[in-house]
Amino acid sequence: MNDQEAAKTDNAQAEAPSDQPVIDPKQTHQIAEYKHDRALTTCQLDPQGRFLFTGAEDLQLYRWDLATGEKTVLTGHRSWVRSIRFSPDGQWCFSAAWDGQVGCWRTAEDTPQAVRMLEAHQGSARWVDVSPCGKLLATCGNDKLICVWNIEDGKQVAQFSGHQTHPYAVNFHPREKQFVSQDLMGNIKIWDLVKGQEVCTIAAPVMTGYDTKFAADMGGARDMQFLADGSLLASAGITRVVNSFGGQQDPLVVLVDWKARQIIRHLRTVDFQGIAWGVRFHPDGFVIGAGAKQNGRGALWFWHMPDKEPSAEDQAASAEKPKAEKPKVETDKEKAARSGPGENPELDRQPFHTFKLGKCARGLDMTANAQRLAVAHSDGFARIYQMTKPAEKKPAEAATEKKET
Amino acid sequence: MNRIQLLLGTCLLLLPFRSGEVTAAELHQKIDALLTQSDPQFAQHEADLSRDSTFLRRICLDLLGRIPTAAEVQLFQQETESQKRIQTIDRLLERPEYARHMQHVFDVTLMERLPTEKHVPIEKWRDYLYQSFQKNISWQQLTWDILSTTGAQAETRSSARFLLDRELKPELVTRAIGRVFLGRDLQCAQCHDHPAIDDYPQRHYYGLVSFFSRAYLFNNPKDKESSIGEKAEGTTKFTSVFTNEEATTFPRILDLPVIADPPADKEPYLAKPDENTRGIPKYSRLQQLPEAITRADNIAYRQNIANRLWYLMMGRGLVEPLDMFHEGNAPTHPELLKLIADDLHQHQYDIRYFLKQLALTQAYQRSSLSKAGEEPEAPRYSAAHMKPLSAEQLAWSTMQATGLLETTRRATIKSFATPKKEDTSPVVTDGISYEIHLETTVNKKLQEHVTSFVTAFSRIDQPGEFNATANQSLFLGNAPLISGWLLPADNNLTARLVAETDSDKLAKELYLCVLSRLPSPTETEQVSRFLGEFPERTTTVQELIRALLCSAEFRFNH
Amino acid sequence: MKRNVGCNILDHTVSRRNFMLGATTAAGFGGLLPATWAKDVAGNQKQILQVYLQGGVSQLESWDPKPGTELGGPFLSIPTSVPGTHISELLPHTAKMMHLLSLVRSINLKADDHSQCRLFMEKGRNTPFVGAVARNTGVYPFLGAVAAKYLDARDTSLPGYIHISTRGIIDDTAGFLEPQYAQFKLEGVKAPENLDRPNNISKKLYRARNDLRTQLDRQFAARRRKSYIDALGSSFNQASKLMDRKGLFEAEQDPQDLERYGTHDFARNCILGRTLLERGATCVKVTHHGYDSHAENFNFHLEQLGEFDKTFATLLGDLEDRGMLEHTLVMVYSEFGRTPKINHRYGRDHWGSAWSIALGGCGIQTGGVVGKTNDKGTEVSDREVHGGHLFHTYLRAVGIDPSQNHDVTGRVIPIGDPAVEPVEELLA
């Protein structure tokens, strides 16, 4: 989150009058959905709250007017869009795609044309982020490079190499002139923008796994976000690989203490094999995750922030329990996965609430007022979920509750 | 050889036994007569009767699945009783090791070394076979057990492996039933009449399929166990891919009369199938199969098993391949096949009886040494046919030869005599039960070694073939498993030979233990020379034993 | 009249067992050929390199990309050294070597089961099997076993058919052929089991033991069935030769090779494979695991083909540089492809209906593409072939006539499925 977004959040909190809806994850409910005919790959809300942008399993970027539901197609990419970000003022939208390009778009144009398509990487461009000052882009790609670009002229200003495996995501620090990237093997690298070099690597082997049967590694950040003050980094991905080719692994969000350069939390899930595809910090002191389950469903998870965690007893009492009717017999592979590198039960936390989704979640974002979540789903729908108590329905309203296009 | 071994050898040979009387004109005599009559030149090629040591080794391998002990060989050779061969056959057929060996043989025949155990654990299935052969269950009863069980009842579930672990897939089950019970591999007739074999029309294939086409694998949601359910409706249709002719069939064994369904019942089910209930129709096509296949007019059934048992003992089938009975593949001795098949049928498919009769034939007891100067031509049965040892026979024989088997038996007997406090198994005093308990315990202890041999020799040889691979020879020659058995310990063979200073006595002990016979003077000299060539006694003795273990004489049943 | 239907089942023509001395027995690597056509392959020292991508490599992410289409996935395609032919961007190194290969893009096995399709591709027949391992009597042999039997070995001290894989299924690859033609399995660059003399005894003692065994067998053989005893003796001789070649399996690999090929298992296995071919092994198969990506298909193909691409291109280049492509058939294949439809796990599932392999080297007309799939990749649109056609093609490429018969224990069985023909356009 950059300064502007942080400011917006702070303002939102400061301005919240006493009659503002109370954020309560346990009240989460769907309030809108926008239909596309192909599975979605990612989504992002513009900072000004006007639009939702989505990528899909096609060549286009899509803009949804949140008020009217109107869909606008942004053409220019040659492959799927993987990551979308906005400039702090929301004027610009940037999209990184599997074609190796990063598209630069004016967010609110009637029919936005790509102002520029950066040939950012050899092979796929996996991620794009915008600097807090709004002048730079950071991208990573399948050429294992991290690149920094001048937004104004589209020129590359720096290139960082060092990842031995494919980096999956990059994220600017909100306050310091540094940024992070994380790769397939879980390595989180911190880069110094001024010095133009790597600062250090934080190993996160808990976020990767090697499937011995298929002889393949699985891992990589599927989403990353810094806390507004930059003190924590959240990374969403996977852990405990059992059968990665069959989708049998656990989702995981890790929290990294920025100053200590250390992982301080493993935010886990209950009875869920799949991938965590999105993560957001909520200003009210909890972390939100979104994920895709092996069986095609999904979930939103809510964990306490470390400084807001209840006592251990209260935590145990309120944490979700597995629903297995009889004791599950763990396979040798599952046992091995549970005791893999990086495992540390003391860091493990369970969600205090899980909201089940009918379809896989593949992307997550949160509105500036922190009341709503946008989720990109595998069934082609982008859905909006409100984290407050549903308004009481008047009879006339009930009939037109869901807005569809 | 020490007194304990002699005593143990005596026990093994003498307890228990029956009188070895044989009445006139028994099957074995008719067999020999037919063989002689069928070939005018038979007498010219007729080999001598095998020596006592050779016979004992052969019959132990064929009935117990292992070579005899040195003590057994010596006692047998010294025995003057004229009926000693008959008596030995009787004794061996009563031994628990006979049941164990038959378990191995029929496990491979019925399950083709299928490694999966999705539904019925391999050990339960093997135990079912072992118990069956222990009780001398007839082949007919085994057929009923295997083909009639649904796997739903605990007491009969073990025999359900044949059907269940083939997942009741028609192409697998049909082929297996055809091959194992009828001597016909009908797989080729699935899509059309067999293009080369008139006797294998498509209707034969689907006649078999029809017995279980209404059956399905039911997975019990309560205990997750699979068993066979059946619907009350369903027709078996088939189309030839070449003629496009469509036909239907009821259950039918080959060209025997069809088994039509009874008139439709308003309530056709005892238990109607749904997701929680295994379907049980009032009339089950599947339950018609055992009776249909074992009925007296199904000549294929009796000929198939007679041929397979003949192959087991003689090393050659009267029809080969064993699963290719048809007009164009006539038996080498058609009258003989009819004789033995009918006799087996008349004796209610008593396997023990039948094997005894075959063992009593001159054909079986002849030497494998042909008349001088010619390679024996097996179809005459004028000389015994050499048979490669199966993986199990090789394993048990190697453990016997090196002394591991004896060591394990002794240790087990000792543990029985002085049971540990925590041992709650009942004390067995009855002689036969004690032997069974002993054999079962020893078998369990050594099973993993047998598995190692099975892994190394996992290819199933075709009848009449012998195949050897470099990997197998590397295993026999170098495997640490066998090297471990050759380390001197517990008065095993290596230990005894290392301690033996007289090279003649050493050679004798060596040959009796490994090759089940006395050495010739030449062989005694070879042993002495080998030992004298290398200074390090223990390793030289180990390699000497290994040379014999790797030899053709050990590798084959001759 | 009996119809020659060429069904994919053994024993269509079965004659009474006819004992034939020599032809059915183990008699050293190579064995005896049926006299009728031995002369046709006399001096035929062709070799085969099989690169098996286990699990089902996606044709859309490799040989038959359809970028920008509804089901094409996110990867793009790249031009190759063959003008007009494009392959996936995931194979940039192989793309530069495409002039040494040809593609078959129109395979339809009409099945999508791992075992069934794998065996179809290996044997050229769609045979039934029991369980996960084909152990039935009378099963067809794998291509490697056929090659080991009918091609003249350049080095008889090596097994004719060697399979290098870090794991895998144990197949009865020789089928009804003699077992010395079965695959000799190497688990990666590890030496085979039991190659060491027991208890570290001296060579002299080991040799003396073998000599004694041989002598005993000679004594035993008099007036007994010689062929059995010869078979046993032969296997021990072969075992001894393998022990003598132990160094081949244990030698440190050349650092320069490792730098060019890579240091992962597949790279090392390919280096060993090339070495074995150089030393005269008839057929070498190297398996690369795994491609069965029901989930995360794109990330996994990126990783797996990333390993495959440079290594394979280097191997192919080495074979070309050494002049070995003239006598070595090269095959890159799987058991099937992957569904055009992408599932909710970003995965693709089994797809035997419209997929591709690559062939090159000896006997192959390279630089071409045979067959097509439709725009979406959902079906073959031109020149449909299956495992039987391909089997014929491999054999013809190395000079074995697939219409000839195996001759094994009296059974007369065509080597290739008589109902199909080779893909003539592929043959040089």
pLDDT by residue (tens digit) across A366-380?
Answer: 999 999 999 999 999
Residue C5 lies in a domain: no
Question: Is the per-residue pLDDT at A283 higher than 90?
Answer: yes
Query: Per DSSP, what are the bridge partners of residue A233?
Result: A226, A256
Overall average pLDDT of the B126-147 stretch: 96
Q: Are strands C47-53 and A209-211 parallel, antiparallel or unpaired?
A: unpaired
Share above pLDDT 70 across residues of chain B, in percent, rounded to a whole number = 88
Contacts (Cβ under 8 Å, ≥6 apart) of C235: B468, B469, B470, B472, B473, C26, C180
Interface test with C, best of A214, A242, A295 (most C CBs within 10 A): A214
Residue in A123, A184, A247 nearest the CB of C89: A123
Q: Classify residue C20: in a domain, yes or no.
A: no
What confidence tier does A320 reach under pLDDT thresholds 50, 70, 90? low
Distance from CA of C146 to the nearest CA of B (A): 16
Say whether B330 and C16 touch across the interface (CB within 8 A): yes
Name which of C406, C289, C374 is nearest C55 in CA terms.
Answer: C289
> Is the Cβ pair A78, C265 closer than 8 Å?
no
Look up residue B193 and give its two tokens: 């009449």
Question: From residue A99, how far is each of A161, C73, C88, C341 by CA, in Å?
Answer: 20, 11, 12, 20
- Reply yes or no on whether the pLDDT at B3 is more than 60: no
Domain span at residue C170 reads 35-189+255-426
Contacts of C342 in chain A (CB under 8 A): 39, 57
Same domain, C239 and C282: no
The ranges assigned to domains in chain B are 3-98+302-386, 137-294, 391-417+435-557
- pLDDT of B492 above 90: yes
Asked if residue A329 is part of any domain, the answer here is no
Other CB atoms within 10 Å distance of the CB of residue B522 = 10
The DSSP output letter for A145 is E
Q: Say what the pLDDT of residue B187 is.
A: 72
Cα angle: B61, vertex B63, B68; to 5 degrees: 45
Q: How confident is the model over A180-200, as pLDDT tens digits?
A: 999 999 999 999 999 999 999
Quick check: C89 and A247 CB within 8 A?
no
* C246 and C384 both lie in a single domain: no
Q: How confident is the model at residue B19 (pLDDT cuts 50, 70, 90)?
A: very low
**Percent over 70 (pLDDT), chain A:** 87
| Predicted confidence (pLDDT) per residue in C351-385, tens digit | 999 999 999 999 999 999 999 999 999 999 999 99
Q: Would you call A149 helix, strand, or coil by DSSP?
A: strand
pLDDT digits (tens, 9 = 90+) for C277-292: 998 999 999 999 999 9
Question: CB–CB of C194 and B475 under 8 A?
Answer: yes
The answer on C367 and C261 residing in a single domain is yes
> Structural domain tally of chain A?
1
pLDDT number for residue B329: 84
For C175-188, give the secondary structure using H, E and C.
CCCCHHHCCEEECC
Do C146 and C87 fall within a single domain? yes
Q: Determine, for residues B552 and C229 on separate chains, whether the beta-carbon distance falls below 8 Å.
A: yes
Averaged pLDDT, B525-550? 96
pLDDT value, residue A13: 42
**What's the gap in Å between the CA of B329 and the closest CA on chain C?**
5
Question: Any chain B CB within 8 A of the CB of C203?
Answer: no
Asked if B329 and C15 come within 8 Å (Cβ–Cβ), the reply is yes
Cβ within 8 Å, pair B378-C205: no
Record the tokens describing residue A289, joined without a space: 């995750």
In this structure, how many other beta carbons lie within 10 angstroms of the beta carbon of residue C55? 27
CB atoms C182 and B479 under 8 Å: no
What is the band of B1 on the pLDDT scale with cuts at 50, 70, 90? very low
For the record, the structure tokens of C103 come out as: 């593609």
Q: Cα separation of C415 and C123, whole Å?
A: 9
In whole angstroms, give the CA distance from residue C182 to residue C282. 12
Q: Please, which pLDDT band fits residue A38 given cuts at 50, 70 and 90?
A: very high
DSSP bridge partners of A287: A281, A303
Residues C263, C300, single domain; the answer is yes
Q: Which residues of C touch A82 (CB under 8 A)?
A: 74
- Assess A216–C contact: CB distance below 8 Å, yes or no: yes
CATH number at residue C78: 3.40.720.10
Is a pLDDT exceeding 60 seen at residue A1?
no
Any idea of the CA torsion for B477, B479, B482, B486, to the nearest 10 degrees?
70
What the block records as the tokens of A92 is 């610009």
Report CB contact under 8 Å: B547, C15: no
The residue of chain A nearest to residue C169, with distances taken between CA atoms, is: A213
CB spacing of C212 vs B191 below 8 angstroms: no
Could you give the angle at the alpha carbon of A147 between the alpha carbons of A143 and A148, nearest 5°?
170
Same structural domain, C184 and C206: no
Query: At B141, which amino acid appears?
Result: Q
- Distance in Å, alpha carbon of C260 to nearest chain B alpha carbon: 33
pLDDT band at B193 (very low <50, low <70, confident <90, very high): low
Asked whether A and B share 3 or more beta-carbon pairs under 8 angstroms, the answer is: no
Chain B residues inside the 8 Å CB shell of C4: 195
- Quickly count helices (H) and strands (E) in chain C: 11, 16
The total domain count for chain C is 2
Q: Number of residue pairs across B and C with CB atoms under 8 Å?
A: 237
> Do C203 and C131 belong to one domain?
no
Other Cβ atoms less than 10 A from the Cβ of C325: the count is 21
Sheet containing A92-97: give its strands across.
Answer: A81-86, A92-97, A101-106, A114-119
For residue C24, is it within any domain? Answer: no
Please tell me which residue, A352 or C30, carries the higher pLDDT value.
Answer: A352
CATH number at residue A126: 2.130.10.10
Lowest mean pLDDT among A159-173, A304-318, B299-313, B527-541: A304-318
Number of CB atoms found within 10 A of residue B498's CB:
16
Contact C12 B539 (CB under 8 A): no
In a domain, A177, yes or no: yes
Q: What is the DSSP string of B123-154?
A: HHHHHHHHHHHHTT--HHHHHHHHHH--S-SG
**Residue A6 in tokens:** 């942080």
Instruction: Report the distance separating Cα B492 and Cα C407, nearest Å.
Output: 47
Print the domain residue range for A139: 3-13+25-308+338-391
CA of C164 vs chain B CAs: smallest distance (Å): 15
Q: Could you check whether the bond before residue B321 is cis, i.e. omega within 30 degrees of 0? A: yes
Q: What residues contact residue A123 under an 8 Å CB cut-off, 6+ apart?
A: A100, A141, A142, A143, C89
